[in-house]
Amino acid sequence: MDNSLIIKSVNKFRGKAQVLQDIDLAVAPGERLALLGHNGAGKSTLIKSILGLTPIHGGSISINGAKPGSAAARADTAFLPEAVSFHPALTGREQLNLFANLSGAPADVPALLERVGLADALDRRIGTYSKGMRQRLGLAQVLLGRPKVALLDEPTSGLDPISRQDLYAIIDELAEQGTAVLIASHALTEVEARTDRIAILRKGVKVADNTLAELSSEAALPTRLRITARAGEIEKLAQKVGGTRVNGASIELCCSADQKMNELRRIAALGDVVVDISMTPPRLEDLYRHFAKESRQ
Amino acid sequence: MTPRALAIAGSELRILRRNRWLFMATLIMVLFALALTFAGSAPTGTLGVDMLTVSVASMTTLSVYLAPLLALMMSFDAISGDRDRGSLSLLLSYPAGRGEILLGKFLSHLAALAFAMTVGFGTAGALAAWSGGAGADSLLALGRLIATSILLGAVFLALGYGVSSISGSSTAAAGMSAALWLIFVVLYDLGLLGAVVMDEGGVFTQSIFPWLMVANPADAFRVWNIAASETIAVTSGMTGAASALPSWAAPLSLLIWPLIGLGLARVAFGRVEP
């Protein structure tokens, strides 16, 4: 039992609708797993099931060997809810002190708040915080007491780009200290570089669960080439190359990974009609669209 | 009393102090108690009792309305407020159990209520005693009024948590709390009164009505305060119903209701999916 978080064939119903269907998922200590999916795909429901806040109907969930909602599981789990807010009358320090007391672990609250960049706002009321600052405060409580499993629901919502970088640096630290991190997110481009593995949910079904590289080759998505013609010669180029015109001067072509070099040679042979070529390999966004949107048999 | 419940109680008490709730509630209690004490001081001479007795009788009438109201104002968003902010799921992901969370909130709210009641009734009582005299009996009545007001508040704190748990939002919880107050404090009595009038002094009025009355915590509060003190019964002029009951009935009702309320609140909170 090496994995910190093990989810085995979990089913959940809301009324007659099945919101989670036969979900299997495992996160190892120190691993960062991105959980992707549309709104209503079941990401938040899955997280609430792991926390024991909502019952599951079949299957099992184990947090470091403990059942969801048990005292042991709650002591081992850290959670950052989506768009969390706290009581506006308390200060950041007071709120974090409360969480430290509840978790039962002694904590250096000022140091934690400094780590998330709230050192200046330590004794200000949360009512005066911006959305990003509240999110940072939420993140600070995740760092309390070295959790075995961290569940982050849309952790970057409301954060500016610099703050996002900080956030992922903190997530990396968590992973380094051996925490299994599960990040539910919409922000595909960030997740791409910052996680070890990607799982995609669609309507309560897990449709993908692998590393980015493996998912790319599994999906066999085409590489996109954009070719820009010399002024006034776009018609000529279009006849020779094919593809679709995207604006007055460019053509877009799609080709599979193994055809890429052939295409490039063919285009290069056209001589100085071609001014520029740019090449876009499939990104997570394309993969996501492939796995999450298109109906697959 | 667990350390986690105490941590929550400390935090809640800080919130009550900081958003001026504690100050406002105490001020309201002091002002109303003073106003009633001095507006109601006229019959002192005719009834031949000291002024504190009259004051306590007036304040008993006040507390029936005000104690439940203040309690519900504090408790109606105790659960739904956290859920609206999205912090309830976070709170529940910590090792504190739901019973501990409820107990922590209850302790702090009860402490705030006790403070407001003691200061409000205490101030008015002290002024009444100073200006119009007081005896051992009337001082005891004042102490009883404060203690029973806190108990009555405890009932409605607990009922408020239940309402807060089962309603979808704080707005809905506020509406349901207002309905709860209206039913327990006003409509229930009106219903009983109607039944008594229809019955014209029959079996219902003789044997069922007093028990039905004392089953309502607000009426139990009134009966306890009135029945326990002869002189207050004289000033309030409602001895009939109280004398038909054994003396333990009203205290039992008022003591058992907070437990019933907390039990209901615990069950309702247990069913909350944040």
Q: B133 exposed, middle or buried (CB, 10 Å; 0-12, 13-18, 19+)?
A: middle
pLDDT in tens, A186-205: 777 778 778 899 999 988 89
Global ipTM? 0.86
B271 to chain A, any CB pair closer than 8 A? The answer is: no
Backbone angles phi, psi at A58, to 5 degrees: 105, 150
Select the more confidently predicted residue: B133 or A12.
Answer: A12
- Model confidence, pTM: 0.86
- Partner-chain contact B11 A98, CB within 8 Å: yes
**A259 to each of A220, A253, A278, B182, how far by Cα in Å?**
12, 12, 16, 78
State how far the Cα of B180 lies from the Cα of B158, in Å rounded to an integer. Answer: 12
Q: Which long-range contacts (CB under 8 A, 24 or more apart) does A159-166 make?
A: A159/A132, A159/A135, A160/A132, A163/A117, A163/A132, A163/A135, A163/A136, A164/A190, A166/A116, A166/A117
Residues of A in contact with B91 (CB under 8 A): 102
Mean pLDDT for A115-119 is 90
The chain B residue lying nearest A105, using CA atoms, is B95
Residues of B in contact with A101 (CB under 8 A): 3-4, 7
**B230 — pLDDT class (breaks 50, 70, 90):** low
CB of A282 closer than 8 Å to CB of A216:
yes
Q: Best residue in B14, B18, B93 to probe A by mutation, most A CBs within 10 Å?
A: B93
- In this model, does residue B80 exceed pLDDT 90? yes
The chain B residue lying nearest A73, using CA atoms, is B95
Give how far A84 is from chain B: nearest CA, Å.
5
Give, for A154, the enclosing helix (H) or strand (E): none
Residues of A in contact with B85 (CB under 8 A): 84-87
Amino acid, res. A12: K
- Partner-chain contact A94 B85, CB within 8 Å: no
Residues of B in contact with A141 (CB under 8 A): 90
DSSP category for residue A125 = B
> Nearest to residue A54, comparing CAs of B269, B271, B86?
B271
B2 to chain A, any CB pair closer than 8 A? The answer is: no
Select the more confidently predicted residue: A164 or B105.
Answer: B105
B194 to chain A, any CB pair closer than 8 A? The answer is: no
Give how far B22 is from chain A: nearest CA, Å.
13
Residues of A in contact with B4 (CB under 8 A): 101-102, 104
- Partner-chain contact A102 B18, CB within 8 Å: no
- Partner-chain contact A101 B7, CB within 8 Å: yes
- In this model, does residue B237 exceed pLDDT 50? no
- Partner-chain contact A84 B11, CB within 8 Å: no
Q: What is the pLDDT of residue B163?
A: 96
Q: A17 exposed, middle or buried (CB, 10 Å; 0-12, 13-18, 19+)?
A: exposed
Select the more confidently predicted residue: B122 or A107.
Answer: B122
- Partner-chain contact B15 A89, CB within 8 Å: yes
A99 to chain B, any CB pair closer than 8 A? The answer is: yes
Give how far B269 is from chain A: nearest CA, Å.
12
**B142 — pLDDT class (breaks 50, 70, 90):** very high
Helix (H, G, I), strand (E, B) or coil at A5: strand
A102 to chain B, any CB pair closer than 8 A? The answer is: yes
- In this model, does residue B226 exceed pLDDT 50? yes
- In this model, does residue B265 exceed pLDDT 90? yes
Buried b (16+ CB within 10 A) or exposed e, A78-117: bbbbbebbbbebbbbbbbbbbbbbbbeeebebeebbebbb
Amino acid, res. A1: M
Q: In this prediction, what percent of chain A has a pLDDT beyond 70?
A: 98
Q: Angle between the B217-228 and B249-270 helix axes, to the nearest 10 degrees?
A: 160
Mean pLDDT for B76-89 is 92
- In this model, does residue A161 exceed pLDDT 50? yes
- Partner-chain contact B86 A82, CB within 8 Å: yes
- In this model, does residue A10 exceed pLDDT 60? yes
Residues of B in contact with A87 (CB under 8 A): 15, 85, 87
pLDDT in tens, B182-216: 999 999 989 988 888 888 777 777 788 888 888 99
B93 to chain A, any CB pair closer than 8 A? The answer is: yes
Highest mean pLDDT among A196-205, A253-262, B141-150: B141-150
- Partner-chain contact A102 B19, CB within 8 Å: no
- In this model, does residue B44 exceed pLDDT 60? no
User: Two tokens at B132?
Assistant: 């119009």
Strand partners, A197: A33
B19 to chain A, any CB pair closer than 8 A? The answer is: yes
B87 to chain A, any CB pair closer than 8 A? The answer is: yes
Give how far B100 is from chain A: nearest CA, Å.
10
State how far the Cα of A206 lies from the Cα of A24, in Å rounded to an integer. Answer: 8
Q: What is the pLDDT of residue A149?
A: 95
State how far the Cα of A198 lies from the Cα of A33, in Å rounded to an integer. Answer: 6
Q: What is the DSSP string of B256-274?
A: HHHHHHHHHHHHHHHT---
DSSP category for residue A155 = T
- In this model, does residue A1 exceed pLDDT 60? no
A98 to chain B, any CB pair closer than 8 A? The answer is: yes
Residue B263 falls in which region: left (phi positive, over 0), alpha (psi -120 to 50) or beta: alpha
> Nearest to residue A89, comparing CAs of B255, B11, B121, B69?
B11
Q: Best residue in A86, A102, A141, A148 to probe B by mutation, most B CBs within 10 Å?
A: A102
A101 to chain B, any CB pair closer than 8 A? The answer is: yes
Give, for B106, the enclosing helix (H) or strand (E): helix B98-132
**B175 — pLDDT class (breaks 50, 70, 90):** very high
- Partner-chain contact B90 A79, CB within 8 Å: yes
The chain B residue lying nearest A127, using CA atoms, is B19
Q: Count chain A–chain B contacts defined by CB atoms under 8 A.
A: 74
How confident is the prediction for chain B on average, in pLDDT? Answer: 88
